């Protein structure tokens, strides 16, 4: 619209029923715009809300075990870790030492190393395992190119056939 005195620009904005908003105060002369400032703030808030909605939040799950944990229990824990990684969550695996177990830190290290090697196709360690007091822990991050695993159609068809056979046998 051109260069105006401040009071003239304010009068023009009032005539239009809008606000005079300073866009660039450091420019010579300062740049202003006549607009509905309430509407502008509302649109900016909507854009920020949409941007937050698009963000992906990664959850951190924790799985604790002891150096003397049995084989079957380890299998169950490994299964849970695989599920968490398949869903895109980070997993903190912790080996907790109590009392005299601290004398056998090597056992805990072996357990962590075994777990990391078994999980290589599902996730990667963010850093090597380290001691934090009585805990030995490592954090696994899911591989980026993998997406959530869904049960294959063949497996679900096999389950349906098995249930039909059981019903026929009865």
Backbone angles phi, psi at 26, to 5 degrees: -85, -15
Give the rounded distance of the alpha carbon of 73 from its chain centre. 27
CA–chain centroid gap for 115, Å, is 22
Exposure string of 110-133, with b = 16+ CB inside 10 Å and e = fewer, is ebbeebbeebeebbebeeebeeee
Task: Give every CB contact of residue 59 below 8 A, 6+ residues apart in sequence.
Answer: 89, 90
pLDDT at 45: 93
The per-residue pLDDT for 149 is: 46
- What the block records as the tokens of 13 is 């904005």
Predicted local distance difference test score (pLDDT) of residue 166? 60
How many other C-beta atoms are found inside a 10 Å radius of the C-beta of residue 91?
24
In-domain check, residue 104: yes
In a domain, 156, yes or no: no
Same domain, 80 and 19: no
- Looking at residue 146, what is its pLDDT? 47
Mean pLDDT of the chain: 82
Question: What is the reported pLDDT for 27?
Answer: 85
Q: 74 and 131 share a domain?
A: yes
The pLDDT, as a whole number, for residue 34 is: 87
Range of the domain at 85: 60-142
Residue 103 per-residue DSSP state:
G
Cα–Cα dist 117/31, whole Å: 61
Counting the structural domains of the chain, the total is 2
Q: Examine the fold and report which residue of 53, 70, 88 is the final residue of a domain before the chain moves on.
A: 53
How would you write the pLDDT of the chain (170 residues) with one tens digit per residue?
A: 778 888 888 888 888 888 888 888 888 888 888 888 888 899 999 999 988 888 777 788 898 999 888 889 989 999 999 888 888 889 999 999 988 888 888 888 889 888 888 888 888 888 888 888 889 999 988 886 444 444 455 555 666 666 666 666 56
* pLDDT digits 0-9 by tens, 101-129: 888 888 888 898 888 888 888 888 888 88
């Amino acid at each position: 619209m051109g260069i105006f005195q401040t009071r003239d620009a304010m009068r023009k904005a009032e005539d239009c029923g809008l606000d005079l908003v300073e866009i660039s105060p450091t420019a010579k002369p300062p740049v202003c715009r006549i607009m509905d400032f309430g509407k502008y703030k509302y649109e900016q808030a909507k854009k920020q809300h949409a941007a937050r909605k698009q963000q992906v939040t990664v959850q951190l799950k924790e799985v604790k075990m002891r150096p003397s944990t049995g084989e079957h229990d380890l299998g169950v824990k490994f299964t849970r870790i695989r599920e968490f990684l398949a869903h895109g969550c980070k997993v903190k695996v912790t080996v907790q030492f109590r009392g005299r177990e601290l004398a056998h830190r090597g056992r805990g290290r072996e357990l962590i190393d075994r777990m990391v090697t078994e999980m290589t196709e599902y996730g990667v360690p963010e850093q090597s395992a380290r001691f934090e007091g009585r805990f030995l822990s490592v954090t696994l991050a899911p591989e980026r190119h993998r997406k959530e695993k869904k049960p294959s159609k063949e497996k679900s068809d096999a389950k349906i056939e098995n249930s039909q056979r059981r019903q026929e046998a009865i």
